[in-house]
C-alpha cells in the first residue's frame, strides 16, 4: 500500500502503533477485572463505572476462519475473516490476511497487523487484521 | 391469564415478487387467516405486524384494504424474530385480557429491500459489521467450530439442506419444490466456507398471518383449538459469557422459559419448526432446544430422527432453506405450519399424530452479543 495518501484510523481508541509493534486497546474494569474489546463506557460484566485502558498486545490464537466468496461492503470476494482469541481470553471477530504455506487452522498463532483495509472519503482507513505468525 | 388459541392461519405465496407490495402479500395472508378463523374482519380488536425493511405502519397499510380500521395497531421489528415478536405481543394482550381476538402479521419484500442479493449485515455503524461480519459469515464460523468440536463434516451440513428440500418438495407453498443430493448441495457455489449457496435460504417475498383468540372467544368457532401453551422472547446476552460459538445462550434461555410455561420437556415435542436460514445452524438449535444432549447434534441428524418419517421431524414445511425466508414473515409462518400439523391438515408432509409443536426463531447480530433475539412458542392440541 502507498503512504502518499492520507490515512485515518477506522475508529479512535481501538489500537495504537508503536516502535515495538501494534497493539489492540481494551478496557479493564478496576472492580472485577473484566477486559473488554472495544473498550466500553462501563463494565459489561459488573456494570462498574471505572475502566482503565490496557494493551492487548499483538499476539493471538486463531479460533476459526472462513473465506467469504461474496463482496461484503468494504471487502471484495475472496476475503478471509475469523475469530481470534487474545491473551486473557478476549475473543474478537477480525479480518485475516492469508499467507502462503500457512493455511488457517484452529489454534495457530496469529499476529496483529494495522493496515489500510478500505478507502473512505479519499483516505485510506486503517484497521486491524491478523496474519499467521 | 386467559388461555390463548390459534384460531386461523394464512400464508401468501412465497417467491420472488418485486412487483407485489406489502399490502398485497400481507392482505393475502390476513384474508386467509381471517377466513380460516371463521370470524368477520370487524371482529378483530388488535393487530401486531412485523417487517424489517422499510417498515412504516405495516398493520394499517395491510388491514385498511380488509375493512379493519379504528383498532389498536402496533408494528414491531426484531430481525428474523420479528414475526415471533408480533405473535407473542398479541398473545400477551389476549392472555392479559386486554383484547379477545386479534391478528399478527409478518411480511417482507426481500427482492426490493436494500439487502436484496447481498449478505445480510448488522447495523451500519456496528463494529463487527464494518469489519465484514454478516449473517452467513457468523454461521460459517460457527460451522467451523462444529467441525472442530462436534466432528461435523461438510456432508452433514449439506444433509440438513437435503432434508429441508425433501420436505419442501411436499409443500405446495414452498418457494422451491425440488430435491437435491448431498453432492449437488456441496457442488453449488461457495458463499462462506463451508456454507454453499444451497445451504443458504433464498431471497423471498411473502407474508404470513395468524388470528389468535382467547379460549372463551374461540369456543364459538372451533371444537379442537390449538392452544399456545408456551411463549418466550429473550434478547441476546454478552458473547463473552459463552465458552464457545457452538451454542447460543439466548436460544437455550428462550427454550427453557417456553418449556417451563408449557409444563413439558423437549422429549414431549412431536414436531419442530426452527430458524434454518443457514443449514449449519440447525445443529446448534438441536442442542439449544434440548432435542439431544449437548455435543450429540450430529448424531441426531445422522440418525434420521429429524427427517421425514423420523421421531422428531424438524422443519416439515421445508424450512427457510426450501420454503423461503421473508425475514419478518417467518416467525408467523412457523406458527401457521405447526397449527396445520396439529390440526392434521399438513398434507403429504403431515407428521402422524402430532400433538405438541415447537416454533423457534432467532434474529439479528450485533458486536458483543450472541445474537439479537430468540423466541420459542409451544403449541398443543
Ligand atoms: Zn466489572
Q: Are B269 and B285 in contact (CB under 8 A)?
A: no
More confident residue, A57 or B155: B155
pLDDT tens-digit map of A97-107: 999 999 999 99
Residue A104, Cβ neighbours under 10 Å: how many? 19
As given in the structure block, the three cell numbers for residue A112 are 496483529
Mean predicted confidence (pLDDT) in B345-353: 96
Establish if A80 belongs to a structural domain: yes
Identity of the residue in B131, B192, B368 whose CB atom sits nearest the CB atom of A69: B192
Question: Rg of chain B over CA atoms, in angstroms?
Answer: 19
Q: Does A83 lie at the interface with B, CB-CB under 8 angstroms?
A: yes
pLDDT tens-digit map of B19-55: 999 999 999 999 999 999 999 999 999 999 999 998 8
Establish if A50 belongs to a structural domain: yes
pLDDT on residue A19 = 87
Chain B nearest C-alpha distance from A64 (Å)? 6
Asked if residue A114 has pLDDT above 90, the reply is yes
pLDDT band at B5 (very low <50, low <70, confident <90, very high): very high
Average pLDDT over chain B, rounded to whole? Answer: 96
**Is-catalytic flag, B325?**
yes
Could you tell me the CA-to-CA distances from B278 to A16, B157, B206, B355 in Å, in that order?
37, 9, 19, 28
pLDDT on residue A4 = 55
Please provide the size of chain A in residues: 133
Give the integer Cα–Cα distance in Å for B274 and B296.
18
Establish if A95 belongs to a structural domain: yes
Asked if residue B74 has pLDDT above 80, the reply is yes
Which residues from chain A sit within 8 angstroms of residue B131, using beta carbons?
81, 93-95, 127
Give the integer Cα–Cα distance in Å for B43 and B26.
18
Chain B nearest C-alpha distance from A19 (Å)? 25
C-alpha count within 13 angstroms, C-beta hemisphere, residue B328 = 31
pLDDT band at B344 (very low <50, low <70, confident <90, very high): very high
pLDDT on residue A36 = 95
Give the integer Cα–Cα distance in Å for B217 and B212.
10
pTM: 0.96
Could you tell me the CA-to-CA distances from A42 to A25, A35, A47, B371 in Å, in that order?
15, 11, 6, 21
Asked if residue A1 has pLDDT above 60, the reply is no
Q: Are B115 and B326 in contact (CB under 8 A)?
A: no
CATH class for domain B4-114+205-228? alpha beta
pLDDT on residue A27 = 96
**Is-catalytic flag, B80?**
yes
pLDDT tens-digit map of B191-243: 999 999 999 999 999 999 999 999 999 999 998 899 999 999 999 999 999 98
Question: Rg of chain A over CA atoms, in angstroms?
Answer: 16
C-alpha count within 13 angstroms, C-beta hemisphere, residue B178 = 8
Asked if residue B288 has pLDDT above 90, the reply is yes
pLDDT on residue B322 = 96
Establish if A85 belongs to a structural domain: yes
pLDDT on residue B255 = 98
Identity of the residue in B132, B140, B141 whose CB atom sits nearest the CB atom of A74: B132
pLDDT on residue B268 = 98
Residue B79, Cβ neighbours under 10 Å: how many? 23
Asked if residue B327 has pLDDT above 70, the reply is yes
Give the integer Cα–Cα distance in Å for B255 and B262.
11
Q: Has the ipTM of the complex gone over 0.90?
A: yes
Establish if A99 belongs to a structural domain: yes
Q: Does B245 sit within 8 Å of A83, measured CB to CB?
A: yes
User: Which one, of A131, A130, A133, A116, lies nearest residue A7 by Cα?
Assistant: A116
Q: Does B238 sit within 8 Å of A74, measured CB to CB?
A: no
Q: Are B7 and B211 in contact (CB under 8 A)?
A: yes
CATH of domain B127-202+230-380: 3.40.47.10
Q: Does B127 lie at the interface with A, CB-CB under 8 angstroms?
A: yes
Asked if residue B115 has pLDDT above 90, the reply is no
Give the integer Cα–Cα distance in Å for A86 and B141.
17
Q: Strands A35-36, A21-29: parallel, antiparallel or unpaired by DSSP?
A: antiparallel
Q: For chain B, which residues make up each domain, given as ranges? A: 4-114+205-228, 127-202+230-380
pLDDT on residue A87 = 85
Mean predicted confidence (pLDDT) in B335-348: 97
Identity of the residue in B119, B128, B193 whose CB atom sits nearest the CB atom of A66: B193
Domain ranges, residue A33: 6-132
pLDDT on residue B60 = 98
| Total number of domains in chain A | 1
> Which residues place a Cβ less than 5 A from the ion ligand 1?
A 29, 31-32, 34, 43, 45-46, 48
pLDDT tens-digit map of B354-379: 999 999 999 999 999 999 999 999 99
Give the integer Cα–Cα distance in Å for B105 and B214.
18
Establish if A1 belongs to a structural domain: no
Mean predicted confidence (pLDDT) in B61-69: 97
More confident residue, B82 or A73: B82
Q: Is B214 helix (H, G, I), strand (E, B) or coil?
A: strand
pLDDT on residue B148 = 97
Amino acid at each position: 500500500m502507498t503512504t502518499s495518501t492520507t490515512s485515518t484510523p477506522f475508529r479512535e481508541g481501538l489500537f495504537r502503533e508503536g516502535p515495538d509493534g501494534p497493539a489492540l486497546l481494551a478496557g479493564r474494569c478496576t472492580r472485577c477485572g473484566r477486559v473488554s474489546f472495544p473498550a466500553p463506557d462501563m463494565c459489561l460484566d459488573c456494570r462498574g463505572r471505572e475502566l482503565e485502558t490496557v494493551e492487548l498486545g499483538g499476539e493471538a490464537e486463531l479460533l476459526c476462519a472462513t473465506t467469504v466468496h461474496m463482496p461484503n461492503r468494504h471487502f471484495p470476494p475472496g476475503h478471509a475473516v475469523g475469530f481470534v482469541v487474545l491473551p486473557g481470553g478476549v475473543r474478537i471477530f477480525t479480518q485475516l490476511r492469508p499467507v502462503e504455506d500457512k493455511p488457517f487452522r484452529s489454534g495457530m498463532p496469529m499476529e496483529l497487523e494495522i493496515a489500510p483495509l478500505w478507502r473512505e472519503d479519499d483516505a485510506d482507513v486503517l484497521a486491524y487484521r491478523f496474519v499467521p505468525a | 391469564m386467559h388461555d390463548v388459541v390459534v384460531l386461523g392461519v394464512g400464508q401468501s405465496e412465497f417467491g420472488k415478487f418485486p412487483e407485489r407490495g406489502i399490502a398485497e402479500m400481507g392482505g393475502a395472508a390476513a384474508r386467509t387467516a381471517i377466513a380460516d378463523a371463521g370470524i368477520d374482519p370487524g371482529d378483530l380488536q388488535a393487530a401486531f405486524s412485523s417487517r424489517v425493511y422499510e417498515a412504516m405502519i405495516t398493520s394499517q397499510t395491510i388491514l385498511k384494504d380488509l375493512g379493519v380500521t379504528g383498532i389498536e395497531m402496533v408494528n414491531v421489528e426484531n430481525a428474523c424474530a420479528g414475526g415471533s415478536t408480533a405473535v407473542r405481543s398479541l398473545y400477551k394482550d389476549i392472555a392479559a385480557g386486554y383484547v379477545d381476538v386479534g391478528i399478527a402479521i409478518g411480511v417482507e419484500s426481500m427482492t426490493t429491500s436494500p439487502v436484496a442479493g447481498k449478505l445480510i449485515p448488522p447495523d451500519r455503524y456496528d463494529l463487527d459489521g464494518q469489519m465484514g461480519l454478516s449473517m452467513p459469515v457468523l454461521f460459517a464460523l460457527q460451522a467451523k467450530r462444529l467441525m472442530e468440536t462436534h466432528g461435523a463434516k461438510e456432508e452433514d451440513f449439506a444433509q440438513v439442506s437435503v432434508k429441508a428440500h425433501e420436505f419442501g418438495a411436499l409443500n405446495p407453498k414452498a418457494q422451491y419444490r425440488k430435491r437435491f443430493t448431498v453432492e449437488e448441495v456441496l457442488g453449488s457455489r461457495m458463499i462462506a466456507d463451508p456454507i454453499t449457496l444451497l445451504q443458504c435460504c433464498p431471497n423471498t417475498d411473502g407474508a404470513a398471518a395468524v388470528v389468535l383468540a382467547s379460549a372463551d372467544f374461540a369456543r364459538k368457532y372451533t371444537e379442537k383449538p390449538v392452544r399456545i401453551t408456551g411463549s418466550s422472547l429473550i434478547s441476546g446476552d454478552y458473547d463473552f459469557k459463552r465458552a464457545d460459538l457452538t451454542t447460543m445462550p439466548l436460544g437455550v434461555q428462550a427454550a427453557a422459559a417456553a418449556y417451563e410455561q408449557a409444563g413439558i420437556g423437549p422429549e414431549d415435542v412431536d414436531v419442530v419448526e426452527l430458524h434454518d436460514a443457514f443449514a449449519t445452524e440447525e445443529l446448534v438449535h438441536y442442542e439449544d432446544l434440548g432435542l439431544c444432549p449437548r455435543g450429540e447434534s450430529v448424531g441426531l441428524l445422522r440418525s434420521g430422527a429429524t427427517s421425514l418419517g423420523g421421531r422428531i421431524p424438524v422443519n416439515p414445511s421445508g424450512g427457510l432453506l426450501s420454503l423461503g425466508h421473508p425475514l419478518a414473515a417467518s416467525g408467523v409462518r412457523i406458527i401457521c405450519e405447526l397449527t396445520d400439523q396439529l390440526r392434521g391438515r399438513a398434507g403429504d408432509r403431515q407428521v402422524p399424530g402430532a400433538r405438541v409443536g415447537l416454533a423457534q426463531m432467532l434474529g439479528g447480530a450485533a458486536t458483543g452479543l450472541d445474537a439479537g433475539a430468540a423466541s420459542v412458542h409451544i403449541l398443543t392440541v
